[in-house]
Amino acid sequence: SGMIKIIDLYKTLSLFKNKINFPEGFELTLKMGDESVILKKEKGNLSIEKGKGKNLIELNEPEMVRLIMGTFFWAPSEIDEKTVSILKTFLPFNIFLSPLDHI
């Protein structure tokens, strides 16, 4: 079996920008290791930028992979209900991964 890794959280999220469904005015910070990325929607435009902002979700790399590329929705229990409901609208990203033991 294989393993998915996130090498660059900012670039990974930027690739899936068109799949992220975010409410106007909401801001979320995803942190993995030393890298933090802010997602926010203002005036109808979603921005993804490096840095720290509101609603921090800090995960290790396997947890971040599980959150954004898992086979079903998962989020840590300490995340508030509003943030979880927003995450559920676009995570995990709906992508096809061939069997990883053939890569």
Provide the whole-model pTM: 0.87
Can you tell me which residue has the tokens 């898992």? 70
pLDDT of 60 over the 60 cut: yes
Q: What is the pLDDT of residues 29-58, one digit of tens each?
A: 999 999 999 999 999 999 999 999 999 999
Give the SS3 label for residue 32: strand
Mean pLDDT of 71-80: 92
The encoded tokens of residue 8 equal 């660059």
- Enumerate residues 6+ apart whose C-beta is below 8 A from 99: 2
The encoded tokens of residue 35 equal 């890298």
